[in-house]
Amino acid sequence: MRSIALLPGLYCALAAAAEPGWLYYGGDQGGRHYSQATQIDRSNVADIEVAWVFRSGDMASYGDAMDNTSTQSTPILLPEAAGESLVYCTPFNRVIALDPASGQQRWSFDPQIDRRGDRPFRCRGVSYAEETRTPAGAACRHRLYMSTHDRRLWAIDAVSGKPCGGFGDGGKVQLFGAEGLVPGEVSNSSAPVVAGGVVVTGSTVIDFARAHTPRGTVMAFDSFDGRPLWQFDPLSGHANSGSANVWAPMSVDVEHGLLYLPTSAASPDYYGADRPGAGLYANSVVALDLHSGELRWHFQHVRHDLWDYDTPAQPILFEWRKNGQAIPALAQLTKQGFVFVFNRLTGKPLWEITEQPVPPSQIPGEQAALTQPKPIAPPQLLNPFLMPSDAWGLTPWDRGNCARQIASLQNLGLFTPTSEKLTMMFPGSLGGPNWGGGALLGDSGVLLVNVNNVAFTGQLIPTPKETNPDSRKQDHPAAGHRMQVTMEGTPYNIEIGSLQSPLGIPCNPPPWGKLVAVDLVKGTIAWETALGSVHEMGPVTAPFHIEWGTPNLGGGIATAGGLFFIGATMDRQIRAFDVRNGETLWQYTLPVDAAATPMTYSYRGKQYVVINAGGHHMFQRGMGDYLYAFALPD
Amino acid sequence: MRLTLWLLLLVAPLCNATTLLVKDEQGHPLPRVMVTQSPVTQPEADLSDDGYAPDGVTNTSAPVVTRFTDAAGQVSFETPGNQVTYRARAQGYVDANFPAIEGELVLQRMTPEQEIASYPSNVWLSQLDFGGDEGLKKTFQLNCAFCHQQASPFMRNERTEEQWLSVIERMNTYGARLPTDDHQKVATLLREEYRRLREHPETVPAPRQWEDHLSAVQITEWPIGDGFSQMHDFLLHPNGYIYIGDNLFDRIYELDPATGKYTVYKVPHDEDMGLGGIMGNRFKVFPKMYNYMGVHSFAYSKADGNIFITPSMQQALLEFDIKTKKFITHYMPEGYYPHTIRVDDKDRVWFTLALSSQVAMFDRSKKSFTVYDLPARGVKEWLILKTLPVMFSISPENRPQPDPDREGTGLPMPYGIDITPDGIVWVARLYANDLARIDPDSGEITMIDFPFQGPRRLRADADGNLWIVAFQDSLLVKYAPASGEFSSYKLPVINEVPYALNVDRERGVVWVNGNQSDTILAFDIASEQWQVYPMPRQRFFTRDIEISEEDGAVYTTNSHFPTWQSEGGVPTLLRITPLAE
């Protein structure tokens, strides 16, 4: 009898031990955005409902400052030994730990960041590691690491939320040098990588506003005491530039001791006459030795970038299974809509990469690259060539207007350099894919990616005498607006805007945002579907959904239950798709847009899906400070 | 002057040359390695006219020189006066770039994937069978392979059917005539068959291997222009200069091959003329374009050396006075799309009018045009041709687009033209697959069926035979007017679509453009044997050939459209000369 009575408890313990969690920003350290959780599946997802809602309080505390934020954080679930809290950060780098079942706050930590400067506040997440050099049971055996807007790397105790005094100076390391913090120049947004006793952080650099911006140096520290270990400047040897920073999440292959950096463009984004050459290692995926920082291999997907085609997404590490072989692989999404697939140990492409001849620049002194790389497979995730006959509109009038606009543009397809003439930028700096990355369906080799599909136009404007002081704030134009950005130290400003009709509707055919299922091994697109409804994008909200797809920021996650969860759209929805065919199986209207990647975990026998809903000012959408959890009813 | 230069070229290797030995990874000497010497920078040039040389300006093009290793794996270059860099390229080996010719160089083998990817367009194209519809493949090649290498890495990259349709529809607005009924079929087949090739690249055959005769030649290139410009046809003039037309920028370049200096002459146009002339601006998305006239084909008068040029975008003929260096525009009363041009021994200027299916003759003594109507192939074609003036009276923006069929009804397209030694004018009609014989004295026109497809350009040899390329049939064809017999010769490379040819009458060699295989092909008439010369740049698309009567040097131009898709992204004039007997 006694043994029988013990069985349910044993079962629960075993079940708890096996419960799928979400220990890293990207689900795992290779950014697969995948969970083994199966409780919520295709058959019951329509039944899930709000389990709890937590509000960070940022809206009340920061007021108007929220207009300069982007809520992009994905929580992580700590292991039992680390307190089993659900932890995330707010745009102002407040770290909050919640009860995973109830959403009740357990603790919070506010680093009181320096909020000077006009760059947007963002925090995509925090990272967890068990520091085995700290005695078991002692504070800071389990740690959280976070890089802040004001360039500090913090280590805090995962159980209590208190800074780890033995790390750097009172729990923090300054990421800037003797020059001090220059507000608005460099900040941090993505979670650092922690593995093997090393914590590595990249940075966000204002790469468009000046010819000479700070370097995008990647820095590694000892995860125990914050001692500097190594640095990697992606632009080593290039004097007339800056940036090439790593703002998107990094990945790490712990087994092979390899760190993968998605590097961004060199400064300034749209003018390269003073930075001749390809500009290695900008616009690349770079593999470094985790422990020494030495270069192992690299691949540059844009040479001599003139389009702001940063490497936007976390490199995705997976096993490439083909013809009975399993190769450690890496898939890299780019804003151009390409998926490059490599052997992640050697950098050898697993799909042939061809050299595509591309148009030259017309700007004096500008030596655009003669060719750009393009994988032979999978196909590009969007069609970047738009002709007048492709113009779209609700009426013949706006369609005709769009056709005329398109006909007047300089447009030789992807990689057409901007000039003093208005030029098609398709995709623009928003992508294609962006920092939301992709979600792999387990070991299937199928990657689900949310893709923007809206054309921009751009034009180099000879530098005017006076410049709007607000012109440096944004990375991308706000919906419906044209933005002029300074490029100090060059003869030009750049003006960018979306290509749209007088009605404010994109001139290219919908969908303007889509979800694409890519079979990385077959090299094919399995299916694609519109992502998002435009019913809230017009001057008046329509009473019904119009599923033409919307621009989107944020990512999605896949589960073993056959589902793909994503917010990201400009319609306040979180949706669940059937991974087999893209059918929408469930959706829920949030109070504001969720421009963040959701996560899922099972806790005490129940699977939760959690998403951060903070709105998105760049898209001129409402703001908020919500964290929503969904689950099946009890 | 030429003889002196030749002597200098022949003795130069003896006095001031350095030698490179190229080996494979096993240490074996590698013959047939293409070694290209390029200037690090081109000389400073006046490009102050929107990035191009203004009228009358003289700039210099520093040549790019290519030689091949011999059987011992060795190649020599003279020590250059300027700073240069080198590239070694061999089939199946990874390109090596290096700063100087000295000692030994080891080339690494490509991986099998790299090697197949490096194959030129023609071998990839050979594996597209269009679902077994041979006629459809020929239609596709006729309409889609006269500007681009169709299976280059750029083109064979997979696209969705919608993307292919978008490309096809855009190309038809540029001047292709792929039948409307075939658009969807072609889009589907390109998607399916490029997918199959990508999944089974091992099915792509290896290209023709380079051969030992290459070590006996030097290839010299003069880059002029940029990624937007296009060298189309050109002319070797008896005055020693080469005149090259920039089809997209209304310029001719007068190049001295001895010095690389070239003077630019900008073709004038009427002030009220729009871009694209009467044809309208078809290339609306091109950021740079200056083709009000459309410099196309060249011929010179043996009487005074003046050069006659067809301006495709006008109802006119251009004359370039070789002494005053001024252009004279002779306006015509009719006819559309002046195309290929020749001058006969009586100083009459003959040229095809490709769109209106006519041949024009300009009598210099009378300064008058005679226009010969070539027969229509049926009532529908006759009606279409007769309504052309009405169509062209409509502004280009509102002009209806043609709705072509596979036979090219309404577009027989007289293309190449040449004059046999007996003074007879011969014309090839590309879409009609026939030849026109025009007796210039009587004006009598005789049409002759061409038993192959795609007679594009033609040339007469010293015996009065006509040599004609059969574009989509991948053949060199001889027509003997005396007997009325046709003979065909398979090209030495597979799935080539030959654009043009020329005959070295002195040496009895027919030179043929190999624009899908990055080659130029030489056919010895007596032995009926071929020799193949690889081009030093990939995606080297050639449309014209000129031969120096004195020394047999062969010239062509790289006129891939657009130029930026060609390796190096710049148009070049290319010359092949023998290094030694």
Residues B74 and B165 in one domain: no
**pLDDT value at position A480?**
61
**Residue A284, SS3 per DSSP:** strand
- Start-to-end Cα distance in chain A: 29
**pLDDT value at position A406?**
92
Q: Which two tokens stand for residue A500?
A: 């749209």
Inside any domain, residue B91: yes
Inside any domain, residue B337: no
**pLDDT value at position A10?**
38
Rounded distance, CA A575 to CA A552, Å? 13
Q: Which residues of A are annotated as catalytic? A: 308
Helix or strand (DSSP H, E) at A14: helix A2-18
Residues B109 and B17 in one domain: yes
Q: What is the DSSP letter of A226?
A: -
Q: For residue range B356-399, what is the model confidence (pLDDT) as tens digits?
A: 999 999 999 999 999 999 999 999 999 999 999 999 999 988 88
Rounded distance, CA B535 to CA B537, Å? 6
Q: Which residues contact A186 (CB under 8 A, 6 or more apart)?
A: A151, A175, A176, A203, A204, A205, A206, A214, A245
Of B203, B229, B262, which one is at a domain's C-terminal end? Answer: B203
Rounded distance, CA B20 to CA B5, Å? 25
Phi, psi for A333 (deg, rounded to 5): -85, 145
Testing the interface with B: which of A383, A418, A516 to mutate, by most B Cβ within 10 A?
A383
Cα dihedral sign for B547, B550, B553, B556? negative
Residues B98 and B147 in one domain: no
Cβ–Cβ under 8 Å, residues A530 and A518: no
Inside any domain, residue B560: no
Q: State whether residue A134 sits within 8 Å of chain B by CB.
A: no
Residue A11 pLDDT level (bands cut at 50, 70, 90) = very low
Rounded distance, CA B427 to CA B437, Å? 7
Cβ–Cβ under 8 Å, residues A277 and A229: no
**pLDDT value at position A616?**
82
* Percent of chain B topping pLDDT 70: 97
Rounded distance, CA A109 to CA A94, Å? 6
Rounded distance, CA B151 to CA B129, Å? 13
β-sheet bridge partners, residue B328: B319
* Percent of chain A topping pLDDT 90: 82
Are the Cβ atoms of A356 and B157 closer than 8 angstroms?
Answer: yes
Rounded distance, CA A606 to CA B183, Å? 54
Residue A465 pLDDT level (bands cut at 50, 70, 90) = low
Inside any domain, residue B274: no
Residue A540 pLDDT level (bands cut at 50, 70, 90) = confident
Rounded distance, CA B462 to CA A588, Å? 83
Residues B100 and B185 in one domain: no
Q: Which two tokens stand for residue A360?
A: 């030259």
**pLDDT value at position A483?**
85
Residue A16 pLDDT level (bands cut at 50, 70, 90) = very low
**pLDDT value at position B10?**
40
Residues in chain B: 581
Rounded distance, CA A202 to CA A245, Å? 7
Rounded distance, CA A608 to CA A39, Å? 9
Rounded distance, CA B345 to CA B349, Å? 10
Q: Which residue has the tokens 């049926």?
A: B378
**pLDDT value at position B554?**
98
Rounded distance, CA B502 to CA B483, Å? 22
Neighboring chain B residues of A416 at a CB cutoff of 8 Å: 287
- Range from A281-295, B71-85, B103-117 that averages highest in pLDDT: A281-295
Q: State whether residue B16 sits within 8 Å of chain A by CB.
A: no
Q: Which residues contact B56 (CB under 8 A, 6 or more apart)?
A: B263, B264, B265, B325
Q: Supply the DSSP string of B354-416, one letter for each residue.
A: TTTTEEEEEETTTTEEEEEEPPPSSHHHHHHHHTHHHHHHS-TTTPPPP---TT-TT---EEE
**pLDDT value at position A244?**
95
- Count structural domains, chain B: 2
Of B93, B114, B135, which one is at a domain's C-terminal end? Answer: B114
Residues B39 and B107 in one domain: yes
CATH of residue B51: 2.60.40.1120
Helix or strand (DSSP H, E) at B154: helix B153-156
Q: Is B9 exposed, middle or buried (0-12, 13-18, 19+ CB in 10 A)?
A: middle
Rounded distance, CA A514 to CA A337, Å? 12
Neighboring chain A residues of B162 at a CB cutoff of 8 Å: 383
Q: State whether residue B227 sits within 8 Å of chain A by CB.
A: yes
Q: Which two tokens stand for residue A349?
A: 């492409």
CB atoms within 10 A of CB A106: 17
In the chain, the amino acid numbered A527 is W
Say how far residue B19 (Cα) sits from the centre of its chain. Answer: 33
Rounded distance, CA A613 to CA A70, Å? 10
**Chain A nearest CA to B47, separation (Å):** 10
Q: Is B26 exposed, middle or buried (0-12, 13-18, 19+ CB in 10 A)?
A: exposed
Section B417-436 average pLDDT: 98
Of B155, B179, B203, which one is at a domain's C-terminal end? Answer: B203
Testing the interface with B: which of A323, A338, A351, A354 to mutate, by most B Cβ within 10 A?
A354
Rounded distance, CA B246 to CA B262, Å? 13
CB atoms within 10 A of CB B470: 24
Inside any domain, residue B503: no
Cα atoms in the Cβ-side hemisphere of radius 13 Å centred on A244: 31
Inside any domain, residue B199: yes
In the chain, the amino acid numbered A269 is D
Are the Cβ atoms of A362 and B51 closer than 8 angstroms?
Answer: yes
Nearest to B201 by CA among B105, B117, B134, B262: B117
**Chain A nearest CA to B565, separation (Å):** 5
Q: Is residue A178 scored above 80 in pLDDT?
A: no
Residues B107 and B138 in one domain: no
Q: For residue range B281-338, what is the model confidence (pLDDT) as tens digits?
A: 887 777 788 999 999 999 999 999 999 999 999 999 999 999 999 999 999 999 999 9
Taking CA A197 as the corner, what is the angle to CA A248 and CA A201, rounded to the nearest 5 degrees?
A: 20
Q: Which of A232-246, A437-451, A522-536 has the lowest mean pLDDT?
A: A232-246
Q: Which of A60-69, A88-97, A545-554 has the lowest mean pLDDT?
A: A60-69
Nearest to B55 by CA among B269, B236, B242: B269
Section B197-217 average pLDDT: 95
**pLDDT value at position A3?**
41
Residues B48 and B99 in one domain: yes
Q: For residue range A428-461, what is the model confidence (pLDDT) as tens digits?
A: 999 999 999 999 999 999 999 999 999 999 999 9
Q: Is B425 exposed, middle or buried (0-12, 13-18, 19+ CB in 10 A)?
A: buried
Domain region containing B107 = 2-114
Cβ–Cβ under 8 Å, residues B460 and B379: no
Q: Supply the DSSP string of A330-345, one letter for each residue.
A: EEEE-TTS-EEEEETT
Q: Is residue B8 scored above 50 in pLDDT?
A: no
Inside any domain, residue B356: no
Residues B86 and B135 in one domain: no
Are the Cβ atoms of A370 and B157 closer than 8 angstroms?
Answer: no
Taking CA B455 as the corner, what is the angle to CA B454 and CA B456, rounded to the nearest 5 degrees?
A: 100
Q: For residue range B450-502, what is the model confidence (pLDDT) as tens digits?
A: 999 999 999 999 999 999 999 999 999 999 999 999 999 999 999 999 999 99
**pLDDT value at position A466?**
61
Section A221-242 average pLDDT: 93
Q: Which residues contact A18 (CB under 8 A, 6 or more apart)?
A: none
In the chain, the amino acid numbered A281 is Y
Q: Which residue has the tokens 């992709």?
A: A438
Inside any domain, residue B198: yes
Task: Indicate the pairing of strand B485-490 with strand B475-480.
Answer: antiparallel
Section B89-104 average pLDDT: 94
Helix or strand (DSSP H, E) at B167: helix B161-174
Helix or strand (DSSP H, E) at A2: helix A2-18
**pLDDT value at position B520?**
98
Q: State whether residue A589 sits within 8 Å of chain B by CB.
A: no
Residue B79 pLDDT level (bands cut at 50, 70, 90) = confident
Q: Which two tokens stand for residue A11?
A: 């079962």
Q: Which of A461-465, B80-84, B141-145 has the lowest mean pLDDT?
A: A461-465
Give the Å distances, CA to CA, from A337 to A476, A566, A577, B117, B174. Answer: 17, 19, 21, 22, 27
**pLDDT value at position B403?**
87
Q: For residue range A315-355, what is the model confidence (pLDDT) as tens digits?
A: 999 999 998 999 999 999 999 999 999 999 999 999 988 88
Average pLDDT over all residues of chain A: 92
Q: Which residues contact B462 (CB under 8 A, 6 or more apart)?
A: B421, B503, B505, B506, B508
Rounded distance, CA A245 to CA A247, Å? 6
Rounded distance, CA B131 to CA A409, Å? 38
β-sheet bridge partners, residue A266: A243
Rounded distance, CA B316 to CA B361, Å? 12
Q: State whether residue B2 sits within 8 Å of chain A by CB.
A: no
**pLDDT value at position A477?**
64
**Residue B217, SS3 per DSSP:** strand
Residues B140 and B68 in one domain: no
**Which residue on chain A is closest to B562 by alpha carbon?**
A359
Neighboring chain A residues of B284 at a CB cutoff of 8 Å: 388, 407
Residues B75 and B163 in one domain: no
Q: Which of B7-11, B215-219, B278-282, B416-420 has the lowest mean pLDDT?
A: B7-11
Q: Is residue A135 scored above 80 in pLDDT?
A: yes
* Bond into A268 cis (ω within 30): yes
Instruction: Name residues 396-415 of chain A within 8 A of B (Cβ).
Output: 407, 409-412
Residues B103 and B40 in one domain: yes
Testing the interface with A: which of B285, B286, B518, B565 to mutate, by most A Cβ within 10 A?
B285
Cβ–Cβ under 8 Å, residues B34 and B536: yes
Rounded distance, CA B177 to CA B267, Å? 29
Rounded distance, CA B387 to CA B389, Å? 6
Residues B135 and B181 in one domain: yes
* Percent of chain B topping pLDDT 90: 85
CB atoms within 10 A of CB B105: 20
pTM of the full predicted structure?
0.86
Residue A471 pLDDT level (bands cut at 50, 70, 90) = low
